[in-house]
Structure 1
Amino acid sequence: MTKYSTEFKEAAVRKMMPPNAMPVRDVRQETGVTNVTLYKWRNEYRRKGIA
């Protein structure tokens, strides 16, 4: 299992949120992180009120 830094996660989540609003599949292709993991990160940041 790969451990990603907080900065890496935040950068990926920011790409999926407005004003960028990149599709998850594009972020996946760019980062190599699975869709499931990206959705999980996005939901975590939304719950925390960060995204």
Structure 2
Amino acid sequence: GHPLGGSGTKLMTTLIHALQKKNKRYGLQTMCEGGGLANVSIVERL
């Protein structure tokens, strides 16, 4: 296994770096969770 929150942290860091590299303003992060749940985050680079 891995630390609680490790996957989300890695995905968000990758998304932020991609927004900077591609000079984009918005990004979308989706992720599955245990028990059939999921969440989504919309990020705006200021």
TM over 0.5: no
- Larger helix proportion, structure 1 or 2? 1
Bigger Rg over Cα: 2
